Structure 1
Amino acid sequence: MSPIHIRALEPKDIPAVHALYSQPALQRNTLGLPYLPASVWEEKMAAGPGKHLLVATLEGRLVGQISLLVEEHRPRRRHVGSLGMGVDETHHGKGIGTRLLGAALELADDWLGLTRLELNVYSDNAAAIALYSRAGFEEEGRHRHYARRDGVLVDALTMARVRAN
């Protein structure tokens, strides 16, 4: 298998990111709605202060994306980052999520000096919870009836990874 390449998201990647998050598995396991136009993804993926957007490619094809968002406009929370990630449904279990998360953690720890990283994950997404747990994230709480999925309200977990300053 070719190596997974991690790099910054480029404007040319927007159509592939749109296609990625249009996959049924990603729509089911993220908060995204189906049938969103590419223009929504252009706005979401636009560069901005505190927005660090990475992609994973395999054989030149975009197979994953991770966002690390820092609340730079809130001085008392500048030490905090929040994460959101998606991996191509045909490439689950191939280490892409691990590589993306590792790159985001390196950016957060070694370059941005963040001491707290947060994320939300559906409580039944065992693979994602295991990935985050291996990376040092711990469950901090459960949000009951967090979001509607497949016509049913489902729970989500808040997980965080906290490093000493």
Structure 2
Amino acid sequence: MNQLPSSISTRLQYQHKSVIDLIDGLTDEQIRRPVHAGKWSVFENIVHLQTYQHIFIARVRAMLEQDNPEFPRYTAEADPNFHDNCALSSREVMQDLLTTRKDMSAEIIHFKPEDLDKCGTHPAFGKMTLVQWLNFFLLHEAYHLFTILKLAAELKKQVI
């Protein structure tokens, strides 16, 4: 039986908050401005993180309720909620990101060890336990946070 590693519980509770520091000093117009043609803006990366949290919560629930459910590959471009959320204000997106994560992490850190052993199948990575899914979720989020860091740096250079 798995215990939730502290490396996961800590990142689950706090990693996403780094986006606040990453965009500090940028205007709403700047975070919505595409830096590279055909690539997501800072805002679209944030919306993706915010929207995918809801997908991930649904997947966790499915793993708890079903025996090894199979999940399709998630693509934001095919998700109408992603497009709808891109029309929201930055404040609304950030509020949902923070509130949803607070609720999600508060629940997950109290999961029983047998819940953490439950599995779901990812189309590329195969059968994974809930602990592995949490690592996947957090690493995916970290990738987008790193992307936001790079984009924000480029936007800040444009101001100078």
Structure 1 or 2: more helix by fraction: 2
Relative to the length of structure 2, the TM-score reads 0.23
> Which fold has the larger relative contact order, with Cα–Cα distance below 8 Å and residues 6 or more apart in sequence?
2
Relative to the length of structure 1, the TM-score reads 0.22
Structure 1 or 2: more strand by fraction: 1
Structure index of larger Rg: 2
